[in-house]
Amino acid sequence: MFEVGSVKTAQCPECDGLVTVDRRAKLGDSLECPECGTMLEVISLHPLELDYALDYEDWEEEWEEEDWEEEDWDEE
């Protein structure tokens, strides 16, 4: 099954501008809005929807908390 064209468009949640997305994009793919530069993530394919990408700095903080739990294990 073929679709016409190689890209789809979705609306940026930040500036409401149209963002072109490769039609082979998968859920969770990240891309940058060409209008406002916001990092976006594909949250839905049918219909194609974008949302703000995860903040990776928050991820690092969660990892540090897990390290603390591992230290508690060593004490027992």
Name the site residues for Zn ion (rule: CB under 5 A): 12, 14-15, 17, 33, 35-36
> Can you tell me the distance from the alpha carbon of 56 to that of 49, in angstroms, rounded to the nearest whole number?
21
Tell me which H or E stretch contains 61. helix 56-75
Minimum CB distance to Zn ion smaller for 35 or for 55:
35
38: its two tokens: 């916001």
Q: How far is the CB of 48 from Zn ion (least distance, A)?
A: 15
Instruction: Output DSSP code: residue 27.
Output: T
Minimum CB distance to Zn ion smaller for 5 or for 37:
37
Minimum CB distance to Zn ion smaller for 21 or for 33:
33
